[in-house]
Structure 1
Amino acid sequence: MKKKLLVGAGVALTLLLSPLSQTFAAEFTTGDLRKVDNVAHRGASAYAPENTISAFDKAVEMKADYIEIDVQRSKDGKLVIIHDTTVNRTTDGTGKVGELTFDQLRSLDAGSWKGEQFAGEQIPTFDEVLERYHGKIGILVELKAPELYPGIEESVAEKLRERHLDKPQNEKIIIQSFNHESMKKMNDLVPKVPIGVLTSSRAHTTEQALQEFSSYADYFNPNYGIVTEELVNQVHSLGMKIGSWTVRSQEAADFLLDIKVDAIITDYPDYVDPRN
């Protein structure tokens, strides 16, 4: 794979050749040092309106490792954070995100539907999220329906470059999408940023499909309903990590922990021990 396999191979070779390799091996096998990333889906969206500052702040408070955000674009070119391609469900407005100006989107109430205490919450911008949270919590960036927004990949890449986040440390920025062609493009634009492919299709879990994904992606992120221990092992064997969504029960979280996924994407960060 494009990034981590080369690094990993070098590290492995160094350890094999090192006279301290036995010491390192002993250290790494003492206890369970595996880390599962706790990803707050659209923020801590069980407790605050999804994809709002309140939800993201709650995720930080709950000690999640990442917030997951959905990026779309307004009619006048502003990158905004909202899941649906219309504003109907999560705001007091109506219409398609891409057909409304930023001012129109910004005037909407994106919180009251979740509770009166969230009245007046606004749709955040990508700039605001990067500025407020980078360095404080990891950010899993989903490009939502990028086929509706030609050139959005370049816009996202530029925002990351402006903050030197195109060279993230410790994978604190990850980009994912259901649109796999878009992710190939993102890999070309920001080759040092980890890329994830989203899917809910079993057709994408074949050996051939996974091999193709591993040529440009670092993460294979399937729907919880199609995850098996065999799939986890298959993904790991190809040098990718696996993060599953969307966890909304303790039982689902426990199952995924047991089969050793790398990340759990959940509305309830408290269902996942962030220090496990």
Structure 2
Amino acid sequence: MKRLFKQTAILSVAVMGFFFLSPIEKALAAQDNNYENTIKTIAHRGSSGHAPENTIAAYDLGFEQKADYIEIDVQMTKDDKLVSIHDTTVNRTTDGTGSVGDYTLEELRNLDAGSWYDESFAGEKIPTFEEILDRYRGKIGILIELKSPGLYPGVEQKVADALIERNMHKPNNNKIIVQSFNHDSVKRFHSILPSMPVGVLVGYGQAENGEITDEHLEGYAAYADYVNPNKSLLDHDTVDRIHQHGLKTWPYTIVDQEWVDRLMGYGVDGIITDYPELMDFR
């Protein structure tokens, strides 16, 4: 009887201890030691809080900060080359003007993609998709966003071809995920490489009155592996429902500790952030 009482008391203390844990500690306590079950850190456009987005400088820093993935944006040039840049124009992040699709690769590579952020990054170039794959393959995961794919017919096949050429299309060997706000584009990519994981980005325009519904999730689950929404579209219930549909969720874009704590308390699977150091407690 004394032994039973002692075991019950120990269990009660453990339960009470868990009750008083912070949201981060609760989330971590619920994780296995298995890598696949740990909360992932995704460096948004690289470590873009500290270096010019979508440049090698930002990606290198994300790697140095031990992010699990770098997130990159992929578009296509006038001569059908794949490059990494977020906006459909070069105005904001280079010293040029005009649409990405109106430039050849050589013309884009002549632009300065670093000085807008800080003069210490002067001379940074817009990287090609292939350059990124070759530099980081096997070192860090790559979350590939097909940016405005409606402007670039055939971009899904070209991305798939670059991955196949490098034998990076096998999901068990490479941490590569393809996502887009354009869900038809995600479906096209999935039809080309059905074994590769894909995700749907979800903004307010894809939600229904600010909610990701079960009907949405049933549709996504037919082809996708991830639902990656605006952080404000998530709560405990939505994360639970995402998981019930067999999907994972990596919300975007987190820039402060308060949101990290909140989202980890919800039980998300990863966090897309401009500041990977926010996840240093892992």
TM-score grouping bracket, smaller chain normalisation: 0.7 to 0.9
Residue 261 (structure 1) aligned to one of 240, 259, 268: 268
**1:166 is matched with which residue?**
169
* Partner AA of 1:116 in structure 2: E
Tell me how far apart the structure 1 counterparts of residues 83 and 30 of structure 2 sit (CA, whole Å): 43
Alignment-derived partner of residue 176 in structure 1: 179
1:72/1:144 contact within 8 Å kept: yes
- RMSD across aligned C-alpha pairs, in angstroms? 1.3
From 45, 49, 52, the equivalent of 1:49 is 52
Letter in 2 for 1:38: T
Measured against aligned partners, the alpha-carbon deviations of 1:74-96 in whole angstroms (never above 9, x if no partner) come to 00011000000000000000000
TM-score normalised to the size of structure 2?
A: 0.85
Q: Which amino acid aligns with 2:159?
A: V
Indicate if the aligned counterparts of 1:176 and 1:196 stay in contact, CA closer than 8 A.
yes
Aligned residue type for 1:227: L
- Give secondary structure in 2 for the equivalent of 1:241: coil
1:237 counterpart residue number: 244
SS in 2 for 1:153: helix
Tell me which residue corresponds to 2:219: 212
Mean Cα deviation higher: 144-153 or 201-210? 201-210
Aligned to 1:73: 76
Shift of 1:103: 1.0
Larger radius of gyration: 2
Q: Write out aligned runs for 1:1-276 (5 A).
A: 32-33=31-32, 34-169=37-172, 172-201=175-204, 202-203=207-208, 205-273=212-280, 276=282
In the alignment, structure 1 segments of 5+ residues that lack a partner are 1-29
User: What one-letter code is carried by the residue in structure 2 that aligns with 1:263?
Assistant: G
In structure 2, do the counterparts of structure 1 residues 247 and 37 end up closer, same or farther at CA, with 3 Å as the change threshold? same
- Deviation by residue 1:26-51 (Cα, 9 ceiling, x = unmatched): xxxx9742410000000000000000
1:95-141 deviation line (CA, Å, top 9, x unaligned): 00011111111000000011111000000000000000010000000
Partner of 1:26: none
| Aligned partner of residue 247 in structure 1, secondary structure | coil
CA distance in 1, matches of 2:258, 2:158: 39
What one-letter code is carried by the residue in structure 2 that aligns with 1:55? A
What secondary structure is seen at the aligned counterpart in 2 of 1:68? Answer: strand
Distance in 2 of aligned mates of 1:233 and 1:124:
38
Q: Contact 1:220–1:243 (CA<8 Å) still a contact in 2?
A: yes
Q: Distance in 1 between matches of 2:245 and 2:153?
A: 31
Q: Which runs of 5+ in 2 are unaligned?
A: 1-28
Q: Is the 8 A contact 1:171 1:193 kept in 2?
A: no
Paired positions, count: 246
The list of structure 1 runs, each at least 4 consecutive aligned residues, that deviate by more than 4 angstroms after superposition, is none
Cα distance in structure 2, aligned partners of 1:160 and 1:65: 19
CA-CA distance at 1:171 after TM superposition? 5.8
Contact map agreement 2:138 2:174 (CA 8 A) in 1: no
TM-score by length of 1: 0.87
Q: Which amino acid aligns with 1:206?
A: T
Contact 2:171 2:196 in 1 (8 A): yes
Q: Distance in 1 between matches of 2:279 and 2:200?
A: 22
- Residues 251/170 of structure 1: CA separation in 2 closer, same or farther (3 Å cut): farther
Tell me the amino acid that sits aligned with residue 70 of structure 1. Answer: D
CA contact (8 A) 2:113 2:126 kept: yes
The residue type equivalent to 1:125 in the other structure is T
Q: Is the 8 A contact 1:71 1:126 kept in 2?
A: yes
